[in-house]
């Protein structure tokens, strides 16, 4: 392991143990810094660059690889934090990142499904089969709550408060929040628990605190949820690029289209800044225009 790689490992241990960052964040930092080291090796660097032009050359290489603007922004953020740590550790005082500006944000409207598309999608799982019943409960939960896929796969039995019609999730920054959940979703969860999940664990002679399990009795992965959604979208004839996050976008969009307050949606989604939630208001403008044109006598 080179000196640069050792310093990156020291930094990653620091952000995970002392700053308590999530595994996903640490993984992202590792990916960005590994790509930076690979670039430095190719260019013959044996120490961290001190010139902004060298950083610009690395970022240009990333753009040549067709990296999205959001990815470039994340890389810049990773390098900025890393160089700050290098300075605090007296490894390198010169910080070229102070001369690097983040790229302008690209405001792309997130993909959302129509209410009809959601209805068709939810009807795809064959609920006469065990995995189909699980998948129906899973899809209903995503659409009913708007939770992130990471929050879904970490959802535990004790987090389902059926009597209160609430679920408790652990979001970004280890922040807990309570989210309303529909009777429909709760009924599918209960059916899945009673007919699939509990008998599976009893048969395996195992135990698990997590709600959604695979056929081996272990928690689902992010990739498994992604594949489940892709499969049912294909069956439903939905040709949009649908991911677990699409159902989160759809949830927020449908709430706003039906009159929900933006602050309420912000709270449910777990956004710390309302500007993050406001992107969904752009999606509802077309809906507002359609309602106006249909309702106004002279439209």
CATH number of the domain located at residue range(s) 3-99 in this protein: 1.10.150.130
pLDDT tens-digit readout, 66-116: 888 888 999 999 999 999 999 999 999 899 999 998 877 655 667 889 999
Phi then psi dihedrals of residue 40, to 5 deg: -65, -40
pLDDT tens-digit readout, 120-176: 999 999 999 999 999 999 999 999 999 999 999 999 999 999 999 999 998 877 788
115-295 adopts what CATH topology?
hpI Integrase; Chain A (1.10.443)
Catalytic one among 80, 156, 172, 204? 172
d(CA 95, CA 235): 52
pLDDT the model gives residue 22: 82
Catalytic annotation on 172? yes
Catalytic annotation on 29? no
d(CA 33, CA 77): 11
Say if residue 283's pLDDT is above 70: no
Q: Write down how long the chain is.
A: 299
Catalytic one among 280, 294, 296, 298? 280
Q: Specify the pTM.
A: 0.63
Catalytic one among 134, 197, 248, 254? 248
Catalytic annotation on 248? yes
Catalytic annotation on 116? no
pLDDT the model gives residue 105: 65
Catalytic annotation on 287? no
Catalytic one among 148, 197, 249, 254? 148
d(CA 273, CA 268): 12
SS3 state of residue 18 = coil
pLDDT tens-digit readout, 53-76: 999 999 999 988 888 888 899 999
Domain ranges across the chain: 3-99, 115-295
């Amino acid at each position: 392991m080179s000196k640069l790689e050792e310093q990156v490992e020291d930094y990653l241990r620091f952000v995970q143990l002392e700053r308590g960052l999530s595994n996903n964040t640490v993984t992202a930092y590792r990916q960005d810094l590994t790509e930076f080291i690979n670039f430095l090796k190719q260019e013959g660097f044996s120490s961290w660059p001190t010139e902004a032009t060298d950083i610009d050359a690395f970022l240009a290489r990333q753009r040549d690889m067709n990296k999205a603007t959001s990815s470039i922004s994340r890389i810049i953020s990773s390098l900025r934090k890393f160089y700050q740590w290098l300075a605090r550790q007296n490894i390198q005082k010169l910080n070229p990142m102070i001369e690097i500006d983040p790229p302008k944000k690209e405001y792309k409207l997130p993909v959302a499904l129509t209410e009809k598309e959601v209805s068709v999608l939810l009807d795809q799982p064959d609920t006469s089969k065990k995995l189909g019943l699980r998948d129906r409960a899973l899809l209903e939960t995503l659409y009913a709550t708007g939770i992130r896929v990471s929050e879904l796969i970490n959802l535990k039995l004790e987090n389902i408060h059926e009597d209160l019609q609430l679920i408790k999730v652990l979001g970004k920054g280890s922040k807990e929040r309570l989210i309303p959940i529909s009777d429909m979703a709760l009924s599918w969860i209960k059916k899945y628990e009673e007919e699939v999940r509990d008998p599976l664990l009893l048969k395996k002679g195992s135990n698990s605190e997590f709600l959604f399990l695979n056929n081996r009795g272990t928690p689902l992965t992010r990739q498994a949820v992604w594949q489940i959604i892709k499969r049912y979208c294909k069956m439903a004839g939905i040709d949009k690029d649908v991911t677990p996050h699409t159902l989160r976008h759809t949830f927020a969009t449908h709430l706003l289209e039906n009159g929900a307050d933006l602050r309420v949606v912000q709270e449910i989604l777990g956004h710390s800044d309302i500007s993050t939630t406001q992107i969904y208001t752009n999606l509802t403008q077309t809906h507002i225009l359609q309602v106006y044109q249909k309702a106004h006598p002279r439209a």
